[in-house]
Structure formats: structure tokens, C-alpha cells
A and B are shown apart, each in its own frame.
Chain A
Amino acid sequence: MTAVALAALRGRGRTLWARLGEVDPRYLVSFLITLILVVGEARYGILGGYDRLVISLGVCMATELALARLVGGRGAALQSAYVTGISLALLLKPRAGLLWPFALGAFLAIASKYVLAYRGQHLWNPSNFAISLFLLIAPGSVAILSHQWGNHLATNVVIWGFGLLIASRVRVLHVTLTYVVCYLILAAARSAIGGTPLLAELAPITGPMYQLFIFFMITDPKTTVGSRRGRIVVAALVAVVEAAIRLAADHHVAALSAFYPAPPILALAIVGPLAKAIDLCAFFHNPRRSP
């Protein structure tokens, strides 16, 4: 290949990259989760039934449309509802084919944005809220996605590749990378403390639950703090709280057992709203800071 051809290719790459940056970030996020859904369902049948997807998506959309009109005083955030609906369909695994967790989970996820708000902004990522709530109050009816997608490396590589690319273009890569780096460091520390195989501690982050968590929950711009530095601190704190939950699990602390099926999701459910509330509070006391 000639130098000219290489240069042309690089130029096209840069152009594509630049065009990607011009796309509304919400569409990129929607594209990524749709990609995960389509690839996962086509190759592994991850949904376990299209009825779950229809219910989750339908209730999310309907709830968002209704509540935006009734109490929101703004246009409906259908893209958010779309991502939430798919996330719930992918992450919630019901007992014996139950469907009500998807209907109620979808409603509670979207409604939480309107009910559990502080100074006009919601505190929880909607799917993070619904999943955490169900794991805490309905563990007999739902499980979290603990293993899926064939445990295949190729699937991981595709999703991580697209995920990192899109995270970069929507300018949340620092959140993803902070969390991942902190997770890896803390996993090594837990391995050293507990004497467990390092790969066992690193293993969860290669799983699909983490992919959804890293690219759709912890990076949700609506529920994270305003400053870049603040977001980095919050991501690190989530990893720290998660590590604490995992250490408790390693030591069989019974009082926290409800947290053990999904440590990162519940860590975010604890840290995220607190950080957001503090950030909003600080903003109202010092409006020059961005919320």
C-alpha cells in the first residue's frame, strides 16, 4: 500500500471519527445498546422471550410519555426510556417466566425520575434504581444477569470495542476508565487480602452485566455530577463501595447478603444519588459551579 493510500485511509478515518462526534450522543448510546441486544439475541437468545422486551419497552415508553405530560412539564425523554427498557429486559432474569417484574420494573424505573428528584433533577439512573430495588425487595422473583452470552471472548471484544469508542465520543470515557482502573486495582487488592485467585476477582468485569453497567449506568450524564473531576471521584467511590461489598461477601457477612448478587449495581445505587444530591446542593449554594 502506498503512502498516498495510507494517508487517504487515515483521512477517511479522521473524517468518520469527526462525524461520529457530531452525532447526538444519545443516538450513539441507543445504537450501542441496540447492538448488544441484537447480537446477544441473535447469537445467544439472551432475552428469554420477546414478550419481556415488548413489555419493558412499552411500559417505559408509555410511562415516560404520560409522566412527562402530567408532571414533567417538558418533552418526553423517549431515548432514555428506550435505553432503560432494553436494559431491564436484558438484566432482569425472572423466576419461571414471570412477566410482572418487567411491567412494574419499567414503571418504577421511569417513575423514579419524577418521584425521586431533588431540585428538579432525578438522582438515580432509572434502570439502576429499578434493578437495585427488585434485588432488595423481590429476590424471590428476579435474578440479575449473572452469566450470559456464551462466555465468549469475541462477543466481549466487540461490545468493549464499540462501547469504548462510543464512550469516548460522548465524552464519558474518563468515567468508564476510572471505574475500570479502580476495579482492577481493588480486585488485585482483594485477591491479595483474601488469597483468592486473581483471575477470579478480575473475571466479573469481563461479564455482560458489567458491560451494561459500565457503558449505560455509571456513565449516565443525567445522574452523575457536573464536573469532570467530580465524575472521576464518583466513579472511584463506586468502585470502592463495590469492593467493600465484595469483601463483605468474601467474609460471608450475612447482613449484607442482599447486596452480593450485583455489587456494582448496588454500589452505584448508594453512591450515585448521594453524590448527585451533594453536587446539586453545592450548585445551588454556588451557582457558578456547573450542576
Chain B
Amino acid sequence: MVHGVTSLGVRRLGLTTVFLGAVFLVVALNRGRPEERGAGGGGGAAPGFSLRDVAHDVGIDFVHHAPTLDPRIDNIAPLVASLGASVSVSDVNNDGWPDLYFTNSRFGFPNALYLNRGDGTFVDVARSAGVADLNRPGEGVSMGAVWGDYDNDGLEDLLVYKWGYLQLFHNLDGLHFEDVTAAAGLRQWMNSNGAVWFDYDRDGLLDLYVTGYFRSDIDLWHLKTTRIMHNSFEFATNGGKNRLFHNLGNGRFEDVTDQMGVGSTRWTLAVAAGDFNGDGWPDLFLANDYGPEELFVNDSGKRFVLTRAGLESDSKSGMSASIGDVLNRGRLDAFVTNISERAYLFQGNNLRLNFLPELGRFEQGAEGAVADAGWAWGAQLGDLDNDGRNELFIVNGYVSGDRDRSYWYAMSKVAGANGNVFEDARNWPAIGTASLSGYERSRVFVSRGLAGWTDVAAAVGVTDEYDGRAVALVDLFNRGVLDVVVANQNQRALIYKNTVAPGNHWVAFKLVGTRSNRSAIGAEVTLEAGGARQLKIVDGGMGFASQNDRRLHFGLGSAARVDRVVIRWPSGARQVVEHPALDRLNVITEPGAVP
């Protein structure tokens, strides 16, 4: 008997020890791997590039101003008015130097068109160009812009999407623009936060897809009701209707949303276009707030089909949609940002690896630090160190108010409620001057291939804690490296000038469409060098409220030559270029010009 009691005591002691060990194990695992808990120090080999903010030095002192809305929603004004900082890249005057367009979002505050002087400095010409004073009562405020040559005249035109009336500007001579919205049939009030130019029917004319966030019958300055919010945090479908405008070729656009089946009302924040299933027709990938992502597959330009592709079961808060060949497989993948906040919410960013041809679905590739970047907004994939692999730049942070006051608890009260409660903005607790995931640092992830990603933000000099929204990648100074432009909400824009360690080669391409749209938006370039393959696409807007340089930049690492480049033009034409010149920009015109 004594022996039995002793044995039981030993077992209890053993159990207690194991129990305490498990508690300690939880603590240890919660700390994570060093690279996950670091501040972007890299924790390994030194990154082969560094970034330094030179915005002021190059003459860019743009500061975004958030909208001021109807006082009936003052209780959550900082939340609602947290969008509008955007940046898009285009060479507006065809001088070979990329220019930048930033949007502002408060009445009376102008947008800026920074013309690249080619000497390392920029000058704001928006006012003289006629694209500055867009933020006016009755007209709405700017949320973003995308460039595309919709009339194929060789000059990039500008579509500004707004909380208000869309505005289309025809580029007259590179330095002057004419508002042709009404003549184009686009004067429509939308509360939009995203748009993309793409040629969905491959007729050589750029079409336009504009996303809706708030419903289009809502005037945020003259509210008839405060029931304007989403009715679910996970499956909301009461947002603004997305619209597809077909370019008729005579300067006019036709709304073909319903007949093409792309009128999602899922609070879309971002859209990207690309041929995900390899059938030669551009598809639409939507990042939706308060709901799952959506993939609309293009059925030969005749209609779009909402496709279950492994996206529908994840109900998240999609903010940004960027597409690129993440693992150098020669295939377009998608990266979608989401929200992570300790103890409250782990939705996590999604790296949608494209296995549509084999499996009919995407597979989740985000894990560790890539998945957990905070309240993430804009993101872009690009080769920042010219090693032949993509880096990933993500900006974070929602509302930076008082550092010692968080709105997370207050928001969690309504988040679990019935949708009818929080659909009414009046029922939300007042945020006051509190923060909501404020002061979050940006992330810069270096790809280690199948070994994953390492955050090197601090190591490369990215330490800002602004409320980042839009990111665009562009070789601003024509040096053969990608620089990073960031538009911050309510704060100044950043120009991260990139310095790459010597030794790696690069090559860039500027494509000019002939049978395809002149901007070559949608063209895919597959490059083969050193036994590796990379795919990039000319984008008509991607990420969040952003558009990258349309010149495609490839890092080559130590490869001494490019074996070949295969271009798949939006028209469907396929072109092979053998051994293009290294360390320079190659201008390639689509063969078989239309007479």
C-alpha cells in the first residue's frame, strides 16, 4: 500500500514537472525564431542592398491629407478617413524618366505630379498640367490613380478614382491634360479605392475595372443615414459595386459590369489583373475587406467566372493584391495583405502560390514573419538586390494616434456582434485620439527561395513608422536598380533610393504595343538566364492604390548573359528575343504592327 501511494506520488510529481515544462515550452515557442521576433535586422548574411529616404533631397515634399467627412460619423472618422494616400508611376512626357503622381484626399488640397527632371530632382507640375485640383466639394476626393494609354496615341492617360466622381484625363502633349470624363461616359459617383487598366477582350484597347468600397449611393459628406458600414467582418457583401468599363475605341467607355459578371459588392480594396490559368486571357484577382478574396477567370473575353480556387474559405481583410512570380516558376502568384494584432486577431497575409493548372487552386505559401506583418497595406514584389529573386516590401499601420491608447479593445466589442449593430456607424465606440495598430514599421523581406523569407528592413535602412498605404517600385534614376516609393496616410511620402552592392547584372525592358494596347499592359515577359527563369508582367495597377513602373526590371545575379526572353503580348502574339543586352534598358516593340 505504501509502495502504491509512493508510486502515485512520484507519478503526480512527474506530471507536475511535465506540466510546468509544457508551460515553459509555450513561452519559448511564443518567442519564435530569432528572425521572426527581430526588428528586421536580418539575422544572417548582410543584405546586398540598402535604402535611404531621399524625398526631400530630390524635391518631393508631398504630404497627404486625409478627408474630413460628415460630422455624423465623427466618432469613427479616423477609421473611415484612413484611405487615400496613393502613388502611381508613369513616364508622362516620354522623356525616358519615370514620373510620380500622388493623390491627396481633403477638399482644397492638391494632388501632385512630380516630373522627373532627369538630374536626380523632381518638380511638381500638377497644377499647370491640370491634374492638381481634383479634391473639391461636390466632386469628392482622390483615393488613387492609374495610368494607361487608352487611346493608343503614345501618351499615358490618367484615371483618378475617388470617393466621388471618377475622373479621366487625356494626356494632350505630355505636360497638359484634359478632363474627358463626361465625354468618355465615366462620370459616375463611386466610393472607390482601386482600379486597373487591362485589355480583357484583347481588342488592343485598354478597358477599365474600378472597384467599389462604400456603396455608390453614399455621399460621405452628406450622409442620409449612418448605416454605411459593412454588415459582417467576414462575409460582407454590402459594399460598393465594382464596375467594368469596356473601351469602345472612340473615346467612350461602356459599362459592361453585369453582362460580364464582375459586379462584386465585397468591399474590394485592391485589384490586379493577370493570366493566372495560362489560357492567354487576363483574369481579375480581388482583395476584399471583410471577406474572402475573389478570382474572376476570364472566359475568352466573353464573360468572367467567379472561380473557387482555394480562396473562398478564408474570410479575411484583404488590403492589397500584388502579383508576381514569387518562386521563379514562370507563373503568376498573388500576395494579399491582411491584419495581425497580438491576442486580438491573426488573419495573416496570404501568399497565394498558383497551382491552378495542376490543382485548380492556390496554395497558401505565407508563414512566419511574412504572414504576420501587422496591419498591412500596400506591398510589392521586386528584385531589390538584382540577385534574380524577388524581395517583398510591405507597409503597415492603420491609425497612429496616442501611443498609449489603443482602439483594439473598443473595436473588438462590436466586431463579434450581429451585423446590424456595426453596420450603423453610430454604434461604434468613439476612437478619439487613440491608435489602431499605429506606429508599425515597414517590412522588407529577402527571399531565400524555398528556405523562406528574412526580414531585413532595419538592416537595409527602412525604419519609418508612418501609416503606409501605397508602395510602388521604379528605377527612378535610371541606374539599373529598383527604388521604392511609399505614400503614407496623413504623412509625408518617402522615396527610398536603393544602393545595390556591385557584382550583380540586370536587364530591363520597355514594351511598346502595336496590335496590343500601346502601354503593353498585360504583357508577360519570361526571362531565362543562368538556368533560372523569371516571369514579370506589365501592370495597369496593382498593390494597394499604386502602380509600378511599366518598365520591367530583372535582376540577374552573376549570370553573364540572358539566354532568351519570351514575350507574350496582350494580343496573344508571342515574341522571342535572344540574348538581349545586359545592364541596360531594352525597348521592344510588338512585331506585326497594325497597318
Contacts and interface: CB of A to CB of B under 8 A. Distances in A.
Interface stretch (A25-33, A82-90, A199-207): A199-207
B367 A96 contact: yes
B22 A207 contact: no
A260 B408 CA distance: 9
Contacts of B234: 44, 147-151
Contacts of B412: 146-147, 204, 260-261
Contacts of B434: 252
A115 B22 contact: no
Interface in A246-272: 249-250, 252, 254, 257-258, 260-261
A116 to B, nearest CB: 8
Interface in A67-97: 67, 70-71, 73, 93-97
A267 B255 CA distance: 55
A16 to B, nearest CB: 30
A250 B409 CA distance: 8
A100 B406 CA distance: 29
Interface string A89-124: 000011111001100100110011011000000000
A141 B11 CA distance: 31
Nearest to A210: B416
B23 interface: yes
Interface size class of B (residues with CB under 8 A): 35 or more
A209 interface: yes
Contact of B416 (A115, A207, A250): A207
A96 to B, nearest CB: 4
Contacts of A101: 26
B420 interface: yes
A95 B343 contact: no
Contacts of B372: 95-96
Contacts of A104: 22, 25-26, 29
Given A146-B412, A200-B414, A261-B412, A71 B233 contact: no
B25 A151 contact: no
Interface in B427-444: 427-430, 434
Contact of B364 (A73, A97, A153, A201): A97
B180 interface: no
Contact of A134 (B26, B231, B404, B420): B26
A151 B346 CA distance: 18
B26 A197 contact: no
Contacts of A97: 348, 364, 367, 371
Contact of A146 (B27, B416, B418, B426): B416
Interface string A114-143: 110000000000000000011101111111
A196 interface: yes
Contacts of A151: 231-234, 416-419, 422
A115 B15 contact: yes
B427 A197 contact: yes
Given A111-B18, A138-B29, A206 B343 contact: no
B366 interface: yes
A108 B23 CA distance: 8
Contact of B341 (A111, A143, A196): A143
A273 interface: no
Contacts of B11: 70-71
A288 B150 CA distance: 88
A95 B348 contact: yes
Nearest to A207: B416
B439 to A, nearest CB: 15
A208 interface: yes
A34 interface: no
A144 interface: yes
A143 B344 contact: yes
A200 B313 contact: no
A80 B122 CA distance: 69
Given A94-B346, A96-B367, A111-B15, A45 B417 contact: no
A153 B344 CA distance: 23
Nearest to A70: B11
A152 interface: yes
A249 B409 CA distance: 7
Contacts of A143: 341-346
A138 B30 contact: yes
Interface in B396-420: 404-406, 408-410, 412-420
B313 A138 contact: no
B94 interface: no
A261 B372 CA distance: 18
Given A44-B234, A95-B372, A261 B26 contact: no
Contacts of B23: 108, 133, 137
B417 A204 contact: yes
Contacts of A178: none
Given A206-B417, A254-B404, A261-B343, A108 B232 contact: no
Contacts of B415: 146-147, 207
B368 interface: yes
Interface string B132-159: 0000000000000000000000000000
Contacts of B418: 151-153, 156, 203, 206
B29 A252 contact: no
Given A104-B26, A252-B434, A71 B345 contact: no
A19 B31 CA distance: 51
Interface string B102-115: 00000000000000
Contacts of B68: none
A140 B427 CA distance: 30
B342 A139 contact: yes
Interface string A45-75: 1000000000000000000000100110100
Contact of A111 (B19, B368, B416, B422): B19
Contacts of A111: 15, 18-19, 22
Given A45-B315, A197-B429, A146 B344 contact: yes
Contacts of B29: 100, 104, 138, 141
A149 B434 CA distance: 28
Given A96-B367, A143-B341, A261-B344, A71 B12 contact: yes
Contacts of A115: 12, 15-16, 19
A150 B346 contact: no
Interface string B212-253: 000000000000000000011111000000000000000000
Given A70-B11, A96-B367, A146 B345 contact: yes
B405 A147 contact: no
Contacts of B43: none
Pairs A-B, 10 closest by C-beta atoms: A207-B416, A203-B417, A139-B343, A96-B371, A138-B30, A147-B415, A151-B419, A261-B343, A260-B409, A95-B346
16 contacts: A94-B346, A96-B368, A108-B23, A108-B26, A114-B15, A134-B26, A146-B415, A148-B234, A150-B234, A204-B417, A209-B416, A210-B416, A252-B404, A261-B343, A261-B344, A261-B409
Interface of A: 44-45, 67, 70-71, 73, 93-97, 100-101, 104, 107-108, 111-112, 114-115, 133-135, 137-144, 146-153, 156, 196-197, 199-201, 203-204, 206-210, 249-250, 252, 254, 257-258, 260-261
